[in-house]
Structure 1
Amino acid sequence: MKNYLYETAVLLCLALLPGSGASAQECSALRTAGPRFAVRTNALYWATASLNAGFEVGLDPRTSWEVAGGYNPWTFGDNRKLKFWTAQTEFRYWLRRRFAGHFFGLHVLYADYNAGGVKLFGMGDRRYEGFLYGAGLSYGYQWVVGRRWNIEAMLGVGYIRSEYDRYVWKRCGRFLGSGRRNYFGPTRVGVSVGFMIR
């Protein structure tokens, strides 16, 4: 039955694209699903000394499901910190075949954080401790750079809801109150190196 479906798909591809020079080999991409699993790490996390890893499984030739996480346990001098742990999952639809080329994704994420004393997002003299959750849509591209290796670039945008307690940044700083924030904008960004498992 699989051979019949494959032959039918190749014939349809050739019939519909006669002027494009499409070959049976190109049309066989309909049958070739690519690797079954991938593990990867995001280089942008490593730039902030954050541990991270992701695992992705192919569901069918054009879809996959990814689970990823990150962790930063470090406190730097003078009680500066960007501590967090995060978990995210994403369903991906590939335009040609999984783990190669363009994809679109739908992701959800959750994180706990304890950050302060760093001159990002107004945290130079404040410490924020709380959690966030959200969802969004993403676009990415994977380049195959070897039989089992690829590089991925991706960007996601969507909604995040954050709830936190605010303190004076110094160690054992005074409690300044609680807050909530809704955010629309980038929710995922990555430049990752992946290893394919057949």
Structure 2
Amino acid sequence: MSRKITFLTLFLWLTAVTFPVFAQQKADTTYTFRFVPQKDMFYVPWNGNDMELARLLECIESNKTDILDGKLPLYVDGYCNSLNGEKENLAIAKIRSNRVKSELIIRAEIKEENFITRNHATEGDFVTVRLTMPVKETAATDAEAEARRKAEAERLEAEKRAEQERLAEEQRKAEEARLAAEKAEAEKAAQQNTLADMPSETKITNDYHLSLRANLLRWATLTPDLGLEWRICPSWGIAVNGSWTSWTWSDKDRRYALLEVAPEVRYYMGEKKAWYLGAMFKAGQFNYKLSETGKQGDLMGGGITAGYQLRLNKALDLDFNLGLGYLNADYEKYEVIDGVRVRRGNETKDWWGPLNAGVTLVWKLF
């Protein structure tokens, strides 16, 4: 009986000595915040971060005095391994750690010196905050700790599978978008090639070129006519046409001579840039003797022009145009007597109306 009493007394004494030792042991409490791979933004509502943050803030509030006094530091570890190099991973891990600390500084009203920070280019895409806290109750059994570790491992594995599936889906969508873009580009190139081969004005004129012009109506009246046009941009062009002829018949008693220069500025309109309006100036000299009395003198005037260019092929257009405005002719009248011109007076005439009309062949030089 005395032995039993002695054994019981010894057991109680050992329990009294050992229990405070276990009670004073410290255990790590870890809080994990998840991040999107390759990103550094801290999304609080994402992937359980809000619940983890609420638990951490509650723990900080319960131990705030010790934390602010420096007795209970917060160990912050940032992780990143979703980028190519160690330097890039460490840079992202650092930014993630700072974002989590900023959130805690604002919400829990603690300071930067209350943290001990380390960053790692390994393991995953998360940040852990760890507090080494005194255990107020008997430590959990090994079986319980193992169960918790197993549950955490299963959760991490499930998250990893979900993340892999998400990345695979994003890669599939990106590949589909790339193939669609390549198909659209091929269709666009085919359409452009088709338009380039069509001898029609359906293709929009958007080039800059120098063209040689010949008014076929003037040539039909045996009046050679040539000109140049420079398209300085799709909407504006500068043109100049010149005509010259000199004909005599009936032993030089009849004469038709003309020298004329007409510069013009044009503005092309519409989607196809085929219609245009212009401003024209005209100056020249003439000598007409189609009856007994001839007329020789100068002409000058100007007005507005309008027209339409019909595309024939890559190099040729057909330009239909009409000019209206004012023309002044200052000339002297004469007769030819025995081969000698005899002056019969001067006249001046003003003309309002059509100044010129043309069906002009346009050849793009370059």
Q: TM-score, normalised by structure 2?
A: 0.42
- Of 159, 162, 184, which aligns to 2:326? 159
RMSD: 2.3
Note if 1:130 corresponds to 2:130. no
**Superposed CA offset, 1:142-184 (max 9, x none):** 1001110011111000001110010125642431101111110
Count of matched residue pairs: 165
Give the corresponding residue for 1:14: none
Give the corresponding residue for 1:51: 224
**Runs of 5+ unmatched residues, structure 2:** 1-191, 196-202
How far 1:54 sits from its partner (Å)?
Answer: 0.6
Note if 1:75 corresponds to 2:253. no
How far 1:197 sits from its partner (Å)?
Answer: 2.8
Give the corresponding residue for 1:107: 280
Give the corresponding residue for 1:172: 340
Against the structure 1 CA distance between its residues 35 and 149, is the aligned structure 2 distance closer, same or farther, given a 3 Å change threshold? farther
How far 1:96 sits from its partner (Å)?
Answer: 3.1
Whose helix fraction is larger, Structure 1's or Structure 2's?
2
SS of corresponding position for 1:191:
strand
Look at both structures and tell me which one has the larger radius of gyration over its CA atoms: 2
Whose strand fraction is larger, Structure 1's or Structure 2's?
1
Give the corresponding residue for 1:89: 263
Distance in 2 (alpha carbons) for counterparts of 1:186 and 1:41 = 19
Sequence identity percentage: 24
Q: Is the 8 A contact 2:265 2:280 kept in 1?
A: yes
1:194 counterpart letter in structure 2? V
Distance in 1 (alpha carbons) for counterparts of 2:221 and 2:254 = 13
Note if 1:63 corresponds to 2:236. yes
**Runs of 5+ unmatched residues, structure 1:** 1-24, 118-123
SS of corresponding position for 1:125:
coil
2:343 counterpart letter in structure 1? F
Give the corresponding residue for 1:185: 353
Against the structure 1 CA distance between its residues 35 and 146, is the aligned structure 2 distance closer, same or farther, given a 3 Å change threshold? farther
2:267 counterpart letter in structure 1? Y
Give the corresponding residue for 1:143: 310
How far 1:35 sits from its partner (Å)?
Answer: 4.3
2:229 counterpart letter in structure 1? E
Against the structure 1 CA distance between its residues 56 and 71, is the aligned structure 2 distance closer, same or farther, given a 3 Å change threshold? same
Q: TM-score, normalised by structure 1?
A: 0.76
Distance in 1 (alpha carbons) for counterparts of 2:288 and 2:268 = 36
Distance in 2 (alpha carbons) for counterparts of 1:186 and 1:54 = 20
Distance in 1 (alpha carbons) for counterparts of 2:223 and 2:217 = 9
**Divergent runs of 4+, >3 A:** none
Against the structure 1 CA distance between its residues 156 and 169, is the aligned structure 2 distance closer, same or farther, given a 3 Å change threshold? farther
